[in-house]
Structure 1
Amino acid sequence: MLRSTLKVPAEVLSELHAPCQLTPYELKIIGELCEILERFEEVTEKVQGDQIITASYVTACVRGLCHAIAHISETYNNKMVGTMQLSLEIRLAKFEEMECFKMAARLDPHFILDWCKDEVHSMREPPPC
C-alpha cells in the first residue's frame, strides 16, 4: 500500500482533495520505510510458501535478515531500525540454532553445495537468504 502511494504522481495526489495532504517529507519517510521493510517482505513470502518445503529456508532467511538490518542500520540510524535489529536478535536467534532447521538446509539441494565451495564438502551453515 505504501509503495502504491509513492507511485501516484504528486499532481494526482494534490487533486484528490483529501483532508490532509502528504508533504514531501512524509513521502520521503514512506519511501525509507518501504526500503527498510523490503527484506522482511521477501522473507515472509519465501517462508510461507505452500508449494515448497520452507524449513530449509529458515536459517538462511534469519541470517539474511540480520545481515540486511545491520546494513540498513548504517544508513538509517534511528530508533525503529535499532528496535527491529534487537527484536530480530531476541526473537529469531532461537530458530537459527534449532537443529531441525540446520539439517533441513543441509539436505536441501538448493543450498547443499553453496556454502561448501572453498572447503571440503562438509556440513557448514547455509549462506544468507
Structure 2
Amino acid sequence: MMRSILQVPAEVLSELHATCKLTPYELKLIGELCEILEPFEEATDKCQGDQVVTASYVTACVQGLSHAIAHIRETYKSKFVVTKQSSLGKCLAKFEDMECFQMAATLDPRFKLNS
C-alpha cells in the first residue's frame, strides 16, 4: 500500500482533496520504510504458500534477513532498524537451530549440498 502511494505523481497527490496531505519529508520516509521492509516482505512471501513446501526456506530466510538487515543498518542508522535487527535475533534465530527446519532444507532438492 505504501509503495502504491509512492507511484502516484506528486501533482496528482497535491490535487487530492484529502484532509491530510503528505509532505515531501513524509513521502521520503515512506520510501525509506519500503526499502527497509522489502526483505521482510520477500521472506514472508517465500515462507507462506499452500502449493509448495515452505519449511525448507525457513533457515535460508532467517539467514537472508540477518544479512539484509545488517546491510540496511549501514545505510539507515535509525532506531527502527536497530530494533528490527534486535527483534530479528530474538524472535527468528531460534528457528535456525530447529532440527525440523534444518532437515527440511537438507532434504529439499532445490538446495544443493556441496560434497
Normalising by the smaller structure, the TM-score range is over 0.9
Q: CA offset at residue 18 of structure 1? A: 1.0
In the alignment, the residues of structure 1 paired with residue 14 and residue 28 of structure 2 have an alpha-carbon distance, to the nearest angstrom, of: 16
Q: Which residue of 2 aligns with 1:20?
A: 20
**More off after superposition, 13-22 vs 67-76:** 13-22
1:78-99 Cα distance to aligned partner (Å, 9 max, x none): 1000000000000011100011
In the alignment, the residues of structure 1 paired with residue 51 and residue 20 of structure 2 have an alpha-carbon distance, to the nearest angstrom, of: 43
In the alignment, the residues of structure 1 paired with residue 93 and residue 14 of structure 2 have an alpha-carbon distance, to the nearest angstrom, of: 45
The answer to whether structure 1 residue 8 and structure 2 residue 8 are counterparts is yes
Runs of 4+ in 1 over 4 A off after TM superposition: none
Q: Which residue of 1 aligns with 2:32?
A: 32
Q: Tell me the amino acid that sits aligned with residue 100 of structure 2.
A: C
In the alignment, the residues of structure 2 paired with residue 56 and residue 46 of structure 1 have an alpha-carbon distance, to the nearest angstrom, of: 10
Share of identical aligned residues, percent? Answer: 73
Q: CA offset at residue 21 of structure 1? A: 1.2
Q: CA offset at residue 112 of structure 1? A: 2.3
RMSD, aligned α-carbons: 0.7
Q: TM-score, normalised by structure 1?
A: 0.87
Q: Which residue of 2 aligns with 1:70?
A: 70
Unmatched 5+ residue regions in structure 2?
Answer: none
The answer to whether structure 1 residue 93 and structure 2 residue 89 are counterparts is no
1:89-128 Cα distance to aligned partner (Å, 9 max, x none): 0001110001111111011111123xx2xxxx1xxxxxxx
Tell me how many residue pairs correspond in the alignment: 115
User: 1:70·1:85 contact (CA, 8 Å) conserved in 2?
Assistant: yes
In the alignment, the residues of structure 2 paired with residue 24 and residue 2 of structure 1 have an alpha-carbon distance, to the nearest angstrom, of: 14
Q: Which residue of 2 aligns with 1:124?
A: none
Q: CA offset at residue 58 of structure 1? A: 0.3
